[in-house]
Structure formats: C-alpha cells, structure tokens
Amino acid sequence: MGALGEALTAGINVVPFTWAASPAATEREIVVVDWLGKALHLPKSLLFEGGGVTLLGTSSEAILCVLVAARDRKLAEVGEGRRVGHLVVYCSDQTHFAFRKAAHVAGIGNENSCAIPAGSQDMYALPPAMLEATMKADAEAGMTPLFLCASIGTAATTAVDSIHELCAVASPHGVWVHVDAAYAGSALICPVFRHLVNGVEDVDSLSMNPHKWLLSNNDCCALWLKQPSALVAALGTDDDVILKDTAATADDGMLVDYKDWQISLTRRFRALKVWLVLRGYGTDGLRDVVRAHVRMAAAFQDMVGADARFEVVAPRVFSLVCFRLRRPTMTTTLPEDNELNRRLLAEVNATGEGPYMSCAVVGGAYVLRFAVGSTLTEERHVRDAWKVVQEHATLILASSMQNMHA
C-alpha cells in the first residue's frame, strides 16, 4: 500500500506548499493525520479541531520545527533582554540524538542542553524528581527552562518516560513538552498500549514515524501540536511569489499553508500513502500487524530467558528485545564481556541467510537488539534467528574458554 502510494504521489507530483497550490492534497493531509491521531488515541487538543496536524519527512525535522516554535514563543513572552543564551532545554541521556542536533541547529548550545541520567533502576526512563530539581536550580540561577523532549520508546531500549509526571514538573515553568514517539508511537494504535501516554492531554506536541512501524514508506513523520500558530509565527513567510488563495487571507487564515509549518517551501504529498495504508489495512488490520510483531518479540524474549547463558537487558515493552551474553566467569571483566557480545553480533549478522540485529551500549554494557517490524516476518524466522544466536554463542564461548586456559 505504502509503495503504491509512493508511486501515485510520484505520478501526480503535486507540491502542496500552500492550500491554493493544492487544496486536495492539503485537505487530504489534514484528514489523514487526524484519522491517524484518533487511531492512536490522541486527545482532541492535538487533533485538527483543537490544535494542528501535519506530515513532515522525519522526526528530526519535527523536533527542530517545534523547538524553534517554542523558542520564539518563549523569547516573545519573556521579553527584551532575554536571549537564546538564557534558555535551557531538557531530555534524558537516553533521548535520541536528533534532539541534541535540533537544539544545536536552533542555536541552543551544549551548555544549555541538559541530559538527565536515566538508569536501569528507572528502567531507562527520565526520572521526574531529577528533572524537577534541575529545572528549579536552573530557574533559581536566572535561567529560563524552555523545552522538554520526552520519549515514548527510546532508541536504545524503547524506554517509556512518564508523560503525566513529567508534564506536572514542566508545566509550572511554562516549558513546551514534546513527545518523541518515532518508533513506538505506532503501538498506540493498540488499546493495551494507550496507558503509556497517560497525561498526553498536557503535552504541546507529539511526533511519530508511520514509516518505522506502520507500513508507510519512507519518508513519513506525523506531527500533532496544540498551538500551530506558534509554528507559523516562527516559520511562516510572506512573499508575493507564492501562490496564495485570496479567500484564505480574507478568511483570517483558516486555511492551512503547510509551507509555514516546516523548514522548506517544497513538500511532498505524503498523505496519499498514509491514506492508502489506513484505508487498505484499517485500524484493525494495523493493530493485528503490531500485535503479531509484539507477540513474536515476546516469544524471542522467552527463548532468551530460557537460556542461562543469556540475559534480557531491559524489560521489553514493544517489539524490541535487548539481550546479551552473561559474563561467562566471575573473573571476566566488562570490556572482555562486551567484546564477546560484539563478536557474537558480528558473527550473527555475517550469516548469509540469517537474521540482522543491531546493538546499543546501555549503562556501559554492549547489548544486541532484536526487533520485529516487517510484514514478512513469521514465527519460524524468529525461532531460526534465535538458533543462529545460540549456535554462535556456543562457538564463541568455547573459544574464549580455550583462550583462558591456554
């Protein structure tokens, strides 16, 4: 469906930068992102009727755009004499690097970008008490807390930050709260995951990539936000060169000109492929896809748990399992242990027809990451993948024992 949508989009090749440039594509985008928001159980305040909805290329873009909107809104609010150098942004040390990059592009330096440590005791979620203490200290030191990037599904372990608690901390400071749900946002289509975004009514914006786990082809990032006027104030442009609808200008801007919501002028008709995916699979069909992937990942996790040589490193929430070989002996050091796991991943990935896994370093430990996300994956692939891991583990552990005794 997604690929067909891409083909049609290429064929039609409209450029919906203003409503007038392509009313159909603009309206389709509004309708489709609204449908998707409803399917993901997002509140009215983030949908079209209470806020604003759009499709961008990537989460990195979405985060940058809302950060710039928040920055300009805050600077206008706090008034003369306050500069970007007074603003502080917050995330956890598990937050995707896209946020650090966005802050950098938005002119907020490393010294004003605060990454709160989120360790295994917090299941790698941002600890609200730490955020509270940090924001308070910053405010007392004369700084202005600006922005919090919370995550539903961090990149390394898919940790879930507590939106409700974090908003309670951030709101008194007038901080813009964004939720980066690039990968795991898709899971919100299943009611069992809805509780993970409790408190989402209080956030200012949320973005997720249907191209990661919701069967829409690259590139596709949906963004919902409470106050699109902040985005337009920061990124809007006025130039006679641009085709505008006179009715739109007369009609106090009720029509959406998406060029004012993003960095570039030119944009693609991404809504068509999302429309096809939503109409083709339906909410129920997409739920089935997500459920099947989560079930297969859970099965993989059980297989890891049943082999005493391995450990599951972080609790699995969605369809990603983080695991590693345990230290083979009491005297094995962490660097040696990491080296064994690195070798294991390299050998698993080198198997011609075998699985392909990725890695992360979590709390100093090198972990392997097994993710299910393709419509072609079946249970037998998961079982086979685990067999490949076990076989290579046996060989690697045997040779490391030999070396130790040599």
Ligand X SMILES: *Cc1c(COP(=O)(O)O)cnc(C)c1O
Scan residues 178-207 and list those touching ligand X (CB under 6 A): 180, 182-183
**CA angle, corner 69, sides to 198 and 98, nearest 5?**
70
**How far is residue 246's CA from residue 249's CA, in Å, rounded to a whole number?**
5
| Binding test (CB under 6 A) with ligand X, winner from 221, 230, 345, 368 | 221
- Please choose, out of 52-60, 168-176, 266-274, 311-319, the segment that lies near ligand X by the rule CB under 6 A: 52-60
Q: Residues in contact with ligand X, total (CB under 6 A)?
A: 14
SS3 71: helix
Scan residues 137-166 and list those touching ligand X (CB under 6 A): 151, 153-155
Q: Does the protein bind ligand X through residue 59 (CB under 6 A)?
A: yes
| Binding test (CB under 6 A) with ligand X, winner from 14, 34, 35, 58 | 58
User: Taking the CA of residue 265 as centre, how many other CA atoms within 13 Å lie in the half-sphere pointing to its CB?
Assistant: 7
| Biggest CA-to-CA distance, the chain | 84
Q: Provide the minimum distance between the beta carbon of 126 and ligand X in the complex, in angstroms, as a whole number.
A: 13
Q: Does the protein bind ligand X through residue 98 (CB under 6 A)?
A: yes
Q: Provide the minimum distance between the beta carbon of 158 and ligand X in the complex, in angstroms, as a whole number.
A: 8
Identify residue 249 by its one-letter amino acid code. Answer: T
* First CA to last CA distance, the chain: 57
Q: Does the protein bind ligand X through residue 216 (CB under 6 A)?
A: no
Binding mask 101-130 for ligand X (x = CB under 6 A): ------------------------------
Judge residue 381's burial from the number of C-beta atoms within 10 Å of its C-beta, 0-12 exposed, 13-18 middle, 19 or more buried: middle
Of 97 and 305, the one with the shorter C-beta distance to ligand X is: 97
Q: Does the protein bind ligand X through residue 209 (CB under 6 A)?
A: yes
Binding mask 60-89 for ligand X (x = CB under 6 A): x-----------------------------
**CA angle, corner 216, sides to 199 and 206, nearest 5?**
20
Q: Does the protein bind ligand X through residue 358 (CB under 6 A)?
A: no
Task: Give percent helix, percent strand, percent coil of the chain, each to the nearest 5.
Answer: 50, 15, 35
Judge residue 42's burial from the number of C-beta atoms within 10 Å of its C-beta, 0-12 exposed, 13-18 middle, 19 or more buried: buried
Residues lying near ligand X in the complex (CB under 6 A): 58-60, 96, 98, 151, 153-155, 180, 182-183, 209, 221
